[in-house]
């Protein structure tokens, strides 16, 4: 595809930063194309759709997105990240325009499922693209910025709707037209700055023993095993990652889908007050993600940051649950600190977890990052279906405080799974830099077998590049 720039050597300095920024921007706009929360009340009233029916439609879209994420993750390892991302972004933008023409429940269902399918596949390309252009020394920060995409999309959708809906007499169709236009413009900016690493560079730049084994096998003329999800899933560490984060995401998805509704129904505050609480929640989420990622990269200690974050998050969820059990006298002033504490605990160590997930996957097969992140994206959407379907039944029978206990159990499950992932707890790994006249990036340097801190020759120029310009 002529629009795709393929790089046969690893970029440095501002070139690398520009590609990373384009990948993060792509994550933001792909998430924004699916954000419809600000217009849901208007849309439901106009199309005469009940809240229960809307939940089932959203669940159907989540299933479609989960399936496409798994497919997209595999395809991005085979055909490349950008070759899929560019056309999918443009198609998503066009689908926003088509959604504005919807006139019935059936048409809305079809459009949401089609958009979720295309959008899920597009998003599945962005995380491995961020990984490709973020060396391990700076990966937690890069993935933290990438994770801000869905949060930023919610904020962007709310801000645009608040500013433009009055100009169009509260017509929900206007927001899809605006979404499509913004998406097309930003897609052009991404196309102008994004690039693709060649498969050879993509598989060689990681400092893992698996990469050395792969190179040695190829040198002996041995056909290496094809990369894919099955290769990853043969290793228990990936199961611990995926199972743990799936339960951890229950509280995140609950706040994303039902945040305002839960606060209004539990504490009796107004929708505007609930939105104020949720705004503070998401702002804290962004701040904690980025600050936690920066500190984790500075110290190169992933698991301890994740563990500390989970402990804080569990305590904060318990604090909010206690308030929900006795909601009398609650106000924004008392609810907001608890919500922000939950947000901080959820986000502070999440960039470090994403870096650990990426690095553990690389240790198995550096060629399968797309498949790894496809599994992650599928887990998010699959758990979204569970929350959409199960939460209303639990709340109807036992209240929102009962559902918060479920969320707390999910956080504790993630805490337990963290002990079965790989990486140093307190000992900062030392990077073995190579001389400036070292051989090309394909050359490997000997290292003790099984050492988690093993570093390949490729890392040296990349490590120097992680320092600010």
Q: What is the pLDDT of residue 7?
A: 64
Neighbours of 413 (CB within 10 A): 18
Q: For residue 35, give the nearest of 256, 332, 339 by alpha carbon.
A: 256
- Domain presence at residue 126: yes
Tell me the two tokens of residue 42. Answer: 């208007």
Asked if residue 115 lies in contact with residue 124, where contact means CB atoms within 8 angstroms, the answer is no
Integer Cα distance of 245 and 234 in angstroms: 18
- Domain presence at residue 441: no
Q: Three-state DSSP class for 7?
A: strand
- Domain presence at residue 433: no
195 vs 106, more confident:
106
H or E element, residue 6 = strand 6-7
147 by Cβ neighbours in 10 Å (0-12 / 13-18 / 19+) ranks as: buried
413 vs 202, more confident:
413
Q: What is the pLDDT of residue 212?
A: 45
Integer Cα distance of 391 and 403 in angstroms: 7
458 vs 164, more confident:
164
DSSP state of 205: S
Asked if residue 62 lies in contact with residue 379, where contact means CB atoms within 8 angstroms, the answer is no
Contacts of 25 (CB under 8 A, 6+ apart): 186, 189, 190
Q: For residue 244, give the nearest of 350, 127, 400 by alpha carbon.
A: 350
- Domain presence at residue 446: no
For residue 40, the enclosing domain spans: 6-214+225-418
Total domains present in the chain: 1
Asked if residue 40 lies in contact with residue 54, where contact means CB atoms within 8 angstroms, the answer is yes
Q: What is the pLDDT of residue 319?
A: 92
- Domain presence at residue 425: no
Taken in order 264, 280, 388, 327, the sign of the CA dihedral is: negative
pLDDT tens digits, 74-131: 787 777 778 888 888 889 889 999 998 988 888 888 888 898 888 888 888 887 777 7
Within 80-172, where are the H helices?
81-99, 105-132, 139-164
Q: For residue 139, give the nearest of 466, 467, 376 by alpha carbon.
A: 466
Residue 2 has pLDDT above 60, yes or no: no
Asked if residue 73 lies in contact with residue 124, where contact means CB atoms within 8 angstroms, the answer is yes
Q: What is the pLDDT of residue 461?
A: 39
58-67, 86-95, 217-226, 247-256, range with the lowest pLDDT = 217-226
pLDDT tens digits, 233-276: 888 888 999 899 999 989 988 888 787 778 888 888 876 677 77
126 vs 455, more confident:
126
- Domain presence at residue 283: yes
Residue 152 has pLDDT above 90, yes or no: no
Asked if residue 292 lies in contact with residue 352, where contact means CB atoms within 8 angstroms, the answer is yes
- Domain presence at residue 461: no
Tell me the two tokens of residue 357. Answer: 């997930």
Q: How confident is the model at residue 430 (pLDDT cuts 50, 70, 90)?
A: low
- Report the residue count for the chain: 469
Q: What is the mean pLDDT of the chain?
A: 76
Q: For residue 59, give the nearest of 123, 119, 113 by alpha carbon.
A: 113
Tell me the two tokens of residue 447. Answer: 């290292």
Residue 151, CA atoms < 13 Å, CB-side half-sphere: 23
Asked if residue 432 lies in contact with residue 205, where contact means CB atoms within 8 angstroms, the answer is no
H or E element, residue 196 = strand 196-197
Q: What is the pLDDT of residue 318?
A: 94
Check which CATH number belongs to the domain holding 269 and give it. 1.20.1250.20
Helix (H) and strand (E) counts in the chain: 18, 2
Residue 213 has pLDDT above 70, yes or no: no
Specify which residues 7 forms β-bridges with: 197
Residue 408 has pLDDT above 90, yes or no: yes
- Domain presence at residue 85: yes
DSSP state of 224: P
Neighbours of 460 (CB within 10 A): 20
Q: What is the pLDDT of residue 219?
A: 54
Q: How confident is the model at residue 317 (pLDDT cuts 50, 70, 90)?
A: very high
367 vs 207, more confident:
367
Return the top range by mean pLDDT from 60-74, 153-167, 302-316: 302-316
Q: For residue 125, give the nearest of 371, 330, 447 by alpha carbon.
A: 371
Contacts of 23 (CB under 8 A, 6+ apart): 126, 129, 130, 133, 146, 194
Q: What is the pLDDT of residue 436?
A: 35
């Amino acid at each position: 595809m002529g629009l795709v720039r393929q790089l046969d050597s690893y970029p440095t300095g501002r070139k690398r930063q520009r590609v990373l920024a384009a990948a993060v921007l792509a994550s933001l706009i792909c998430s924004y194309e699916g954000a419809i929360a600000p217009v849901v009340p208007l849309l439901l009233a106009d199309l005469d759709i009940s809240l229960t029916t809307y939940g089932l439609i959203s669940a159907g879209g989540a299933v479609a997105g989960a399936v496409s994420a798994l497919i997209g993750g595999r395809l991005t390892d085979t055909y490349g990240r950008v070759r899929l991302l560019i056309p999918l972004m443009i198609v998503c933008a066009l689908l926003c325009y088509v959604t504005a023409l919807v006139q019935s429940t059936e048409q809305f269902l079809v459009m949401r499922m089609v958009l979720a399918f295309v959008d899920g596949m597009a998003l599945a390309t962005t995380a491995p693209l961020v990984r490709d252009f973020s060396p391990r020394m700076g990966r937690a920060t890069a993935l933290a910025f990438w994770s801000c995409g869905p949060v930023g999309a919610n904020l962007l959708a709310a801000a645009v709707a608040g500013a433009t809906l009055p100009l169009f007499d509260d017509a929900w169709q206007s927001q899809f037209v605006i979404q499509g236009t913004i998406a097309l413009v930003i897609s052009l900016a991404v196309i102008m700055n994004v690039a693709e690493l060649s498969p050879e560079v993509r598989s060689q730049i990681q400092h893992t023993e698996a990469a050395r084994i792969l190179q040695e096998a190829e040198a002996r003329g041995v056909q290496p095993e094809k990369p894919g999800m099955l290769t990853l899933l043969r290793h228990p560490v990936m199961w611990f990652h995926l199972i743990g984060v799936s339960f951890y995401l229950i509280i995140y998805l609950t706040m994303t889908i039902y945040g305002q509704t839960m606060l209004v129904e539990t504490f009796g505050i107004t929708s505007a007050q609930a939105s104020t609480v949720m705004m503070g929640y998401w702002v804290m989420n962004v701040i904690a993600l980025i600050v936690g990622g920066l500190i984790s990269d500075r110290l190169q200690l992933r698991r301890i940051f994740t563990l500390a974050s989970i402990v804080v998050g569990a305590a904060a969820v318990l604090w909010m649950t206690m308030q929900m059990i006795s909601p009398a006298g609650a106000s924004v002033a008392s609810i907001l600190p608890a919500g922000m504490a939950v947000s901080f605990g959820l986000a502070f160590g999440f960039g470090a977890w994403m870096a650990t997930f990426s690095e553990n996957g690389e240790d198995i097969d550096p060629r399968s990052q797309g498949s790894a992140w496809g599994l992650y994206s599928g887990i998010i959407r699959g758990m979204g279906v569970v929350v959409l379907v199960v939460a209303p039944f639990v709340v109807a029978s036992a209240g929102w405080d009962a559902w918060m206990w479920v969320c707390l159990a999910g956080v504790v499950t993630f805490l337990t799974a963290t002990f079965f992932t790989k990486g140093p707890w307190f000992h900062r790994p030392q990077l073995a830099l190579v001389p400036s006249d070292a051989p090309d990036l394909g050359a490997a340097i000997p290292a003790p077998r099984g050492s988690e801190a093993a570093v390949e020759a490729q890392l040296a120029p990349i490590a120097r590049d992680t320092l600010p310009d």
